[in-house]
Amino acid sequence: MAEMIQLDHPGSDVADAEAFLLEALQILLDEGVRKGTDATQKVCEWKEPEELRELLGLELRDHGESRQSLLRRCRLVLRYSVKTGHPRFFNQLFSGLDLFALTGRFITETLNTSQATYEIAPVFVLMEEVLLAKLREMVGWSDGDGIFAPGGRWSPRSWRRRSRGRKPSGTTVLGAFDPLGAIADICQRHNLWLHVDAAWGGSALLSGKHRHLLDGIERADSVAWNPHKMLTVGQQCSAFLLRDSSGLLQRCHGTGATYLFQRDKFYDVTYDTGDKTPQCGRRVDCLKLWLLWKAIGTQGLARRVERAFAFTRYLAEEMKRRDGFRLVLEPEFINLCFWFVPPSLRGREDDPQYWSKLGKVAPVIKERMMKKGSMLVGYQPHGPHVNFFRQVVTNPVVTRADLDFFLDEIERLGEDLGGTPHPPPHPEPSSDP
């Protein structure tokens, strides 16, 4: 006989749920905040996937687990997560695609009001390489439909050559700022839509010292900006700034579904923004930015930007004083791209195998730092360049001591790749639970 569903009592225990939330919050504070920002703790505690599966108990069961069992799971998840707020986490934070900010539909299509159909309009986009393939597939772009910034800085002189059927390309790896004023001149002359991907660099506008890097951005038709990156607003927080005031987003994305968006509501329906976005509903990202801005003010945000620039400048100058560090290019932004050259390769640039050997150094050092848990920094090849490290620091709790540790640790982890092993003079971070 089927089990009778009881409707006379609540289907969940509210008191138990409240107790769970209070205890889970304490775990979050202990593991995520206190230990997650403590330089004496590991940035990550490496476990193989199968080991993690066993530790976390990932299988789903017919019957639920106790509150204490779930809390243990929460503690383990936090313990084995990468501590992105750690002062020795030197990776660029990335939280995945934001369709609202990055979909190409609203920058490649304009509504033909006389025929009530969409027609493709020319578009000029400065785009991130990692998004290019996905964006092209999503909006059906063919080669040459958009003009993308090549590696490093885009040159206005090359735009005609690059628009003639060449495969678009772009990058945020090197951290260069494009001459937006000159690009805007071209767009205005040829009636092109100018979209600027200012996901990282847009925050420089908050600093009177660095905002000149974005001169001309005020002429863009649209701008994408991620405050969760350089300003370290809680993830995810993305903004799409649009000059158009004709309701373009709603005309491109709106379906007017009456079960969601009734036009005869008693309040101003322009506040129903869901019909402007591809995914219909959105989290209140702006609340996170508003709270931070209210807490530290415009000057506080500017200091965060300027501190990030100062981190990069300090490290770049220190690298020039140390053997074994080689800059890929002089940093213009907060991206610090460099190779570590172990002793066996120093002075051997004429060796035909020099670059292929150097390209294997960064992956080994990255593996060692992850398994040791001492810090995290990303690496990648780029164009003709073999694997190099790309260090990005925005965390406001980072100090000079952390930056010095970064340089020392790269040397320790890579020294024996080319000579005598170099024992670490400092104790390894704690892995105590």
Length of the chain: 433
**Domain match, 109 and 236 both:** yes
Whether the CB-CB separation of 176 and 155 falls below 8 Å is answered with no
pLDDT of residue 308: 93
Rounded to the nearest 5°, which phi and psi values hold at 324?
A: 100, -20
- Any domain includes 256: yes
350 and 224 fall within a common domain: no
Which of 252, 287, 322 is where one domain is finished?
A: 287
What pLDDT is attached to residue 124?
A: 44
| Residues 283 and 190 both lie in one domain | yes
Q: Is residue 111 part of a domain?
A: yes
Burial class (CB in 10 A: 0-12, 13-18, 19+), 31: buried
What's the half-sphere exposure (Cβ side, CA atoms, 13 Å) at 414?
A: 28
Kindly state whether residues 268 and 306 are assigned to the same domain.
no
**Same domain for 329 and 268:** no
Nearest to 305 by CA among 223, 236, 210: 210
* CATH number for the domain harbouring residue 357: 3.90.1150.170
> Which residues are CB-contacts of 278 (< 8 A; sequence separation ≥ 6)?
99, 100, 103, 105, 253
Could you tell me if residue 403 is inside a domain?
yes
Around Cβ 259, how many Cβ atoms within 10 Å?
Answer: 5
Residue position matching structure tokens 């839509």: 193
Residues 208 and 258 in one domain: yes
- Model pLDDT for residues 99-116, shown as the tens digit of each residue: 223 333 333 333 333 333
Chain Cα centroid distance, residue 431: 27
Q: Is residue 231 part of a domain?
A: yes
Based on the domain organization, do 280 and 346 belong to the same domain? no
The residues near 303 (Cβ < 8 Å, ≥ 6 apart) are none
Residue 67 maps to a domain: yes
CA atoms of 334 and 174, how far apart (whole Å): 9
**Within a domain: 94:** no
User: Same domain for 124 and 104?
Assistant: yes
Residues 391 and 368 in one domain: yes
- Same domain? For 137 and 200 the reply is yes
- Per residue in 151-203, pLDDT tens? 455 555 555 544 444 433 445 688 888 889 998 999 899 888 888 989 889 99
121, 423 in Cβ contact below 8 A?
no
Looking at the structure of the chain, the number of domains it has is: 3
Question: According to the model, what pLDDT value does residue 276 have?
Answer: 79
Query: Do 343 and 419 touch, CB atoms closer than 8 A?
Result: yes
Q: Please report the pLDDT score of residue 105 as a whole number.
A: 30
Decide if 214 is inside a domain: yes
Q: Taking a C-beta distance cutoff of 8 angstroms, is the pair 362, 76 a contact?
A: no
Global pTM? 0.76
Which of 241, 267, 287 is a domain's end point?
287
Tell me whether residue 45 is in a domain.
Answer: yes
Average pLDDT of the segment spanning 232-246: 85
Distance CA 307, CA 330 (A): 18
Which residues lie below 8 Å from residue 338, measured CB to CB, with a gap of 6+? 319, 325, 326, 327, 328, 388, 389, 391
Q: Using one digit for the tens of pLDDT, what is the confidence trace for 368-424?
A: 999 999 999 999 998 899 999 999 998 888 999 999 999 999 999 999 885 444 444
Owning domain of residue 69? 19-79
Confidence at residue 433, expressed as pLDDT on a 0 to 100 scale = 40
Which residue, 256, 287, 318, sits at the end of a domain? 287
CATH code, domain carrying 265: 3.40.640.10
Rounded to 5°, angle at Cα 82 from 77 and 83: 100
My answer on whether 146 and 275 are in the same domain is yes
380 and 332 inside one domain: yes
